[in-house]
């Protein structure tokens, strides 16, 4: 019963098989190999656009290097105050941009509203020398709360950013889960909405260690190969990244994996919702479930070996905060979660609550 994160799982079977196959024989290094070329072509086909594609081994590298391509050292990067780039990357975005400022914006359920963004843009007037200059907006889809921006919300946020001369980055660590939920094309949820550069996550959803940075405007990508190499994220045996991404995208494998993770999250949320004493603060819109559990249930689940994180009160409104006999938890099923793990979790929970 492992719901700590979707990256506690390994790689999917087809991705591992592709790695083993690519491991045979020799290939030119640093991405000059047929697997990398094939992966770039597959990404372009998937996104229905002639975009610039760069493979990197981690999401932090994808985000930080992508933001560095959009932002000068004196730039402002607007993001949600709970964004991964602001809280979980050890300052990598600041490091790779050579010191740009992350401006964290508040917002319910992990989302930035249009009016909040407009207010922030107004607080950073262009040309005022004493302030950092508005440069990038970073949106996370699905969000850190497992919620989704609707397509129209993305359209409006991107339009407001562009209207102020600000480029848009999307942190798509769970891009697949979001596309599977919205039932839209990858193009619609990215460049057609106005996203300029996408961190196309894949590791959480089935690769071993491979993400893609996708520039929909190749002009923005001019320096990226140098940035990636200088930052130590250009793998010499690049074919091992290309093989992962190619297998991930082949025949819709990536979406099958995401649909499974989403279905397991739905199963979990339904079980929790039908258990008296459990509170669910917001809907599960991707593959993350947030729940307020009675403390006795939390103790029993941990004792039986269930793994998940306590989440403090992040994302909750004041009147939703957990009571002294409750804990707020984050539960994330992955592509590899078995239905039985979910059912076992719910059984233990109910058993504990009956006794309590």
Ligand X SMILES: *Cc1c(COP(=O)(O)O)cnc(C)c1O
Residue with tokens 């950073």: 124
Q: Is 326 an interacting residue with respect to ligand X (CB under 6 A)? A: no
Contact between 144 and ligand X by CB under 6 A: the answer reads yes
DSSP 232-281: T---TTTHHHHHHHHHHHGGGHHHHHHHHHHHHHHHHHHHHHTSTT-B--
Using CB under 6 A as the binding rule, whether residue 270 contacts ligand X is answered as no
Stretch that binds ligand X, among 30-38, 54-62, 243-251, 323-331 (CB under 6 A): 54-62
Strand segments, DSSP code E, in 94-190 are 101-105, 133-140, 167-172
Q: State the number of binding residues for ligand X (CB under 6 A).
A: 11
Q: Please select the residue that binds ligand X; options are 2, 27, 75, 84, rule is CB under 6 A.
A: 84
> Does residue 253 bind ligand X (CB under 6 A)?
no
> Among candidates 98, 75, 92, 44, which has minimal Cα distance to 215?
44
Considering only residues 203, 234, 246, 287, which one is a binding residue for ligand X as defined by CB under 6 A? 203
Q: From CA 17, how far away is CA 90, in angstroms rounded?
A: 33
Nearest approach in angstroms of CB 15 to ligand X is 15
Cα separations in angstroms, 237 against 17, 114, 211, 283, 291: 17, 43, 15, 42, 42
| The binder of ligand X chosen from 31, 59, 93, 315 (CB under 6 A) | 59
Of 101, 109, 181, 204, the one binding ligand X (CB under 6 A) is 204
| Torsion sign across C-alpha atoms 27, 30, 35, 37 | negative
Taking CB under 6 A as the binding criterion, the range among 55-63, 267-275, 296-304, 321-329 that sits at the site for ligand X is 55-63
Give the helix/strand (H/E) hosting 291: strand 289-294
Residue 103-142 contact track with ligand X, rule CB under 6 A, x = bound: -------------------------------------x--
If we measure between CA atoms, which residue out of 212, 218, 184, 179 comes closest to residue 198? 212
Is 173 a residue that touches ligand X (CB under 6 A)?
yes
Instruction: Name the residues that contact ligand X, by CB under 6 A.
Output: 58-60, 63, 84, 140, 144, 171, 173, 203-204
């Amino acid at each position: 019963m492992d719901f700590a994160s979707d990256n506690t799982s390994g790689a999917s079977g087809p991705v591992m098989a592709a790695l083993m196959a690519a491991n045979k024989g020799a290939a030119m290094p640093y991405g000059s190999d047929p697997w990398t070329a094939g992966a770039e072509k597959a990404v372009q086909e998937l996104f229905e656009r002639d975009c610039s594609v760069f493979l990197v081994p981690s999401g932090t590298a994808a985000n930080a290097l992508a933001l560095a391509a959009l932002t000068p050292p004196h730039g402002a990067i607007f993001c949600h105050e709970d964004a991964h780039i602001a809280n979980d990357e050890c300052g990598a975005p600041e490091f790779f941009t050579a010191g740009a400022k992350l401006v964290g914006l508040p917002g319910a359920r992990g989302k930035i509203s249009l009016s909040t963004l407009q207010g922030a843009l107004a607080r950073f007037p262009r040309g005022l020398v004493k302030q950092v200059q508005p440069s990038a907006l970073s949106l996370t889809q699905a969000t850190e709360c497992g919620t989704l921006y609707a397509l129209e919300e993305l359209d409006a946020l991107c339009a407001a950013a562009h209207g102020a001369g600000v480029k848009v980055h999307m942190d798509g660590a769970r891009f697949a889960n979001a596309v599977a939920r919205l039932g839209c094309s990858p193009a619609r949820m990215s460049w057609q909405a106005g996203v300029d550069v996408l961190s196309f996550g894949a590791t959480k959803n089935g690769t071993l260690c491979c993400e893609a940075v996708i520039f929909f405007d190749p002009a923005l990508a001019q320096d990226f190969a140098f940035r990636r190499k200088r930052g130590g994220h250009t793998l010499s045996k690049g074919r091992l990244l290309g093989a992962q991404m190619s297998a991930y995208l082949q025949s819709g494998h990536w979406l099958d994996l995401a649909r499974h993770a989403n279905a397991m999250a739905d199963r979990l949320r339904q079980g929790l919702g039908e258990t008296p004493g459990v509170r669910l603060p917001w809907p599960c819109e991707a593959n993350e479930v947030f729940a307020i559990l009675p403390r006795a249930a939390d103790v029993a689940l941990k004792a039986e070996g269930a793994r998940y994180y306590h989440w403090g009160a992040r994302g909750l409104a004041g009147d939703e905060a957990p009571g002294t006999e409750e804990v707020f938890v984050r539960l994330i099923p992955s592509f590899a979660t078995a239905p039985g793990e979910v059912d076992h979790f719910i059984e233990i929970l109910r058993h504990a609550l009956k006794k309590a």
